[in-house]
Chains A and B, each alone.
Chain A
Amino acid sequence: MAELHTTINGEAVAADVDPAMTLAEFLREKLYLTGTKIGCGRGECGACTIIMNGKSVVSCLIPVMRAEGAVLQTIEGVANGRKLHPIQEEFINKGAIQCGFCTPGMIMSSKALLDANPDPTREEIREALGGNVCRCTGYVNIEQAVNAAAERMRKGEK
């Protein structure tokens, strides 16, 4: 076992961890942050996407000890209390959710993009979401949701 110190959704976390774990396993099984989904478990679906030091990563391929000293955001930290984030609201408004399994990863990829780039081109949205697979919605509504959220965030909504 090893000691891990990290920051998750603004809170300092210290934990004893098995270094053989992935970050996705740690979030789900030790911290019960089960909003982060494990789909394929090999980096090919994007369901486990979180934001690590400002960048989207697939947490199923991140060894847990790489989170030492890192700043992490998961889907649980996106809403402000009961008030949904504009990205979450626009996913609902545009019908960008069906079964919902890919949605946390989609939202985290979208948030990583919009936090760094408030006015992305269509190509930039597609690059940011290209690693997130959805088998229900067909992607068009998701792209529209990101555009709509970007517009609201540019006006100052958080």
Chain B
Amino acid sequence: MQYINAASSSEALAALLKADGRGMVIAGGTDVIVDMKNGKIHPELLIDVTRAADMQGIRVEDDKLVIGAAATLTQIARHEAVRRFYPSLAKGCGTVGSLQIRNSATLAGNVISAQPAGDGAMALAPLAPVFTVLSAAGERTMTMGEMYAGFARSAVDHSRELVTRITVPLPGAHEAASFVRLELRKSLSLPMLNCAAMVHYEDGAVRWVRITMAPVGVGPVRAAAAEAYLTGGPLTEEAMSRAGELALENANPRSNPLRGSREYRLETLPVMVRRALEECRAQLV
């Protein structure tokens, strides 16, 4: 096996194209190395993008938060602008694995790994992120809904293309986001359930709301029925509880021997959805 430390995204892409499907991109590597050890993947070439100069850092540009695909979860969780504009994203990124994992792992990788409930990816989901993807055809953008092709399967082909940055619109007036998690313990544990929301609430009415939940399907699942029910109405205790119940219409959780049965998850999901909405409202009222 060969290994390249790419100095830029274009250098990484050139190496990928030259390898013609036998190479793959590695960022933090906290999933890739485990998959290699388990014999799930056998790359002939790893192209490390953690030093790619144009994929570093986090910045505010116009009305957007731009997160370089090589930014680590620790950098995001502790970044002043992330904490100010999207504390829910800081919380989700600050919850993945352990500090040692977060010191290597990236948010872009958390999405590309396409695990059903990555806390960073799930906190990001309702914020309407846009992913910039670089391939032989040039740059294109993808939405959160387009990123997941299946369980642990990304729509981005890491042997032929790479995510270079994630762009998130900053919250406007009357907007707030939240991230909540049902967990066995605080560190080194995947969530039993996680749920994130973003709402625009003005003059006592929900203008729009996005609710995402996991692991209840492939990637972050939108609670479409709950969103439709809430839109146009007030965020009362009754409405938030009802939205929690309606979230079940879009949820299809599996049973997990460690992190709860399907039945348990169906019982607790409405509570988590309600809490996510309550946290949004608490920031706005």
A residues contacting B by CB (< 8 A) are 2, 18-20, 22, 41-44, 46, 49, 55-58, 60-63, 65-66, 68, 109, 126-128, 130-133
Contact across chains for A63 and B29 when beta carbons are under 8 A apart? yes
Q: Is there contact, CB below 8 Å, between B46 and A49?
A: no
Instruction: State in angstroms the CA–CA spacing of A109 and B104 once bound together.
Output: 14
Bound form: Cα–Cα A65–B2 in Å: 10
Q: A42-B34, A66-B48 are in contact. Are A19 and B3 (CB under 8 A)?
A: yes
Q: Per a CB cutoff under 8 Å, which of A56, A63, A68, A130 touches B186? A: A130
Q: Are A2 and B50 in contact (CB under 8 A)?
A: no
Bound-state CA distance A62–B50 (Å) is 12
Given contacts A42-B37, A131-B99, 13 further A-B contacts (CB under 8 A): A2-B3, A42-B34, A56-B100, A58-B30, A58-B100, A62-B33, A62-B104, A63-B26, A65-B5, A109-B100, A128-B99, A130-B186, A131-B98
B188 neighbours in A (Cβ, 8 Å): 44, 130-131, 133
- Decide: B100 and A131 in contact? CB cutoff 8 A: yes
Q: List B residues 207-236 near A (Cβ within 8 Å).
A: none
B3 touches A65 (CB 8 A): yes
| Pick from B30, B34, B98: contact of A130, CB under 8 Å | B98
In chain B, residues 1-60, which have Cβ atoms closer than 8 Å to a Cβ of chain A? 1-3, 5, 26, 29-30, 33-34, 36-37, 46, 48, 50
Contact B33–A61 (Cβ < 8 Å): yes
Whole-angstrom CA separation of A42 from B1 in the bound complex: 20
In whole angstroms, what is the CA distance A61 to B188 when docked? 14
B interface residues (Cβ-Cβ under 8 A, vs A): 1-3, 5, 26, 29-30, 33-34, 36-37, 46, 48, 50, 74, 97-101, 103-104, 186-188
Of chain A, the residue at the smallest CB distance from B36 is A20
What are 5 residue pairs bridging A and B, where the CB atoms are less than 8 Å apart in the complex?
A: A19-B2, A56-B99, A58-B30, A58-B100, A63-B3
Report A-chain residues with C-beta under 8 Å of the C-beta of B74.
Answer: 55
Cβ A131 vs Cβ B187 within 8 A = yes
Is B101 a contact partner of A65 (Cβ separation < 8 A)?
no
Measured CA separation A18–B74 after assembly (Å): 29
Interface centre among B30, B48, B99, B100 (most CB of A within 10 A): B100
Closest Cβ neighbor of B48 among chain A residues: A66
Q: Which residues of B contact A133 (CB under 8 A)?
A: 188
| Contact, CB under 8 Å: B2 / A2 | yes
Q: How far is the CB of A69 from chain B (nearest CB, A)?
A: 8
Choose from A2, A109, A131 the contact partner of B101 (Cβ within 8 Å).
A131
CB distance from B36 to the nearest CB of A (A): 8
- Which of A2, A20, A43 lies in contact with B30, CB distance below 8 A? A43
Query: Once bound together, how far apart are the Cα atoms of A58 and B30, in whole Å?
Result: 9
Q: Is the CB of B103 within 8 A of A55?
A: yes
CA distance A46 to B103 in the complex (A): 13
Best-buried of A56, A61, A127, A130 by chain B (most CB within 10 Å) = A61
B3 engages A61 (CB within 8 Å): no
Give the CA-CA distance A106 to B36 in the complex, in Å: 26
Q: Shortest Cβ distance from B133 into chain A, in angstroms?
A: 23
For B98, the chain A residues whose CB sits under 8 A away are: 43, 46, 58, 130-132
On chain A, the residues within 8 Å of B37 by CB distance are 41-42
Known contacts: A19-B3, A65-B3. The answer to whether A46 contacts B100 by CB under 8 A is yes
Contacts of B2 in A (CB 8 A): 2, 19
- Distance in angstroms between the alpha carbons of A22 and B36 in the assembled complex: 11
The answer to whether B101 and A66 have CB atoms under 8 Å apart is no
Contact present for A56 and B29 (CB under 8 Å): no
Known contacts being A130-B187, A133-B188, is A22 close to B33, with CB within 8 Å? yes
> Is the CB–CB distance between B34 and A61 below 8 Å?
yes
Residues of A within 8 A of B97 (CB): 43, 131
Q: Contact: A57 with B103, CB < 8 Å?
A: yes
Q: Are A66 and B50 in contact (CB under 8 A)?
A: yes
Q: Which of A19, A66, A130 contacts B99 (CB 8 A)?
A: A130
Q: How far is the CA of A132 from the CA of B65 in the complex (A)?
A: 33
